[in-house]
Each structure stands twice: as structure tokens, then as C-alpha cells.
A = this chain, B = another copy of it.
Amino acid sequence: MINKKIDTVQQAVEGVTDNMTLMLGGFGLCGIPENAIAELVKLGVQNLTCISNNAGVDDFGLGLLLQQRQIKKMISSYVGENDEFERQMLSGELEVELTPQGTLAEKCRAAQAGFPAFYTPAGYGTEVAEGKESREFNGKMYILEKAYEADFAFVKAWKGDEAGNLIFKGTARNFNPCMCGAAKITVAEVEELVPVGELDPNHIHIPGIFVQRIFQGKNYEKRIEQRTVRTR
């Protein structure tokens, strides 16, 4: 067993420097690498390019990095819940590349899987297709999308073991598995780090080969963005 365990969140962000491209898992505030984000704020790295489906809210998730103006460019599919984001974007302080959600997921997965490019129908005939190759297959039009290139991927899982194997819970899975192994270094934080051998090999969502560092996260807030309930 190749041991991927690190002991501190400081080790988790070791090597992250200005101008790097980071992938960050999560959908809205669900399944985000809370510990790593907090430490990136502390680290104070600048001019980051962040690939993440959303940009957090004003005071949580990637919103924390936006507040500190550490992000130069966001690559996301939806950024609608963040006033500071909108302000920075409209004022031109923040560069934004909006990408269809399925394309975003697959551009991560392509990087993970060694595919340089793929054809997808999403965005054909729209702004998203500008500057990209369009091509017909079987009578339908597609555009060519390329794999992302990133320096670090920060993901959050539910359980993990020291070999880096990961299991996700519910819809907190989302982009996290697609980002594992899609960057030069993948750092996973987990709610529960278990000894090797405790996870059923059939239930592992992401094998440890895609993960370079794993650590036990602390104090998960797991904030709910839209608390919707019904009455009994």
C-alpha cells in the first residue's frame, strides 16, 4: 500500500504558488474542500485560476478567496449566488470563463483519463463555440473541447483511507471524482480517514492512484445554501 496520508492542512497546500491553476470540487456549497480553501486564504497566494462549478457565496466557499482578491480567473458553469463575484466581474477585476456544466465535468475527466479533446454538442451555435472547431457527426453538430490543465485539484470526500481511496456521500460527490487525477497533484480531504483495509474494494469511488495527498479534515460546517423543508 502506497501511503498518501498527510497530517496537516499546511502540507495539503504545500507547493501552491501564485498564478497556478486549481481545480476545486463541489456543487454550490455541497461537497467543497472547506479545509483546503480556508488554508489557501491563509497562504495568501495570488492570481489564481480556479476551475470550479460555482464560486461559493460571499462569505463561504470560494467566496472567501474572492473576498481576498486571490482569484484572477474563474472557470465555472454558474456563478449566480455571489454579489462580490458579480461586482468583480462587472468591474473587470475578475476574468470569467463560463462553461457548460457537462462540458466542465468532462474537461476534468478528460484530463484525468488522458484524452486531449472530445466532441460535445453542448454550446454548438452559441458564444461558447466561438473560436472552437465545429464538426458534424451523423447529422448532428458538435464542438471540440479540450482537457483542462491544472496544477492542483482539491477535493472533498466522505471517507478515505491512507492509500488515498475515496468514497463520497450523496450529491456531495458531484465534480469531486472527475477532478481526482485531473491535475498534477490531487489533494483529498475527508470527513473520516480510516485504516487501510476498512473500505470495501467494491465500494471505492476513486482508487488511490488518482490521489497524491489525503488528510482528515476538521470542523466541517457543510453550510446549506437553500434550506427547503416540508411540514409534517
Contacts and interface: CB of A to CB of B under 8 A. Distances in A.
Interface of A: 106, 114-121, 137-138, 140, 142, 146, 167-170, 201-203
Nearest to A137: B116
25 contacts: A106-B115, A114-B120, A114-B121, A115-B118, A115-B119, A115-B120, A116-B119, A116-B137, A116-B138, A116-B140, A116-B142, A117-B118, A117-B119, A117-B137, A117-B142, A118-B118, A118-B119, A137-B146, A167-B202, A168-B202, A169-B202, A170-B201, A170-B202, A202-B203, A203-B203
Contacts of A201: 170
Given A170-B201, A170-B202, 19 more contacts: A106-B115, A114-B120, A115-B118, A115-B119, A115-B120, A116-B119, A116-B137, A116-B138, A116-B140, A116-B142, A117-B118, A117-B137, A117-B142, A118-B118, A118-B119, A137-B146, A168-B202, A169-B202, A202-B203
A159 to B, nearest CB: 10
Nearest to A158: B202
Contacts of A170: 201-202
A120 B115 CA distance: 6
A170 B202 CA distance: 6
A117 to B, nearest CB: 5
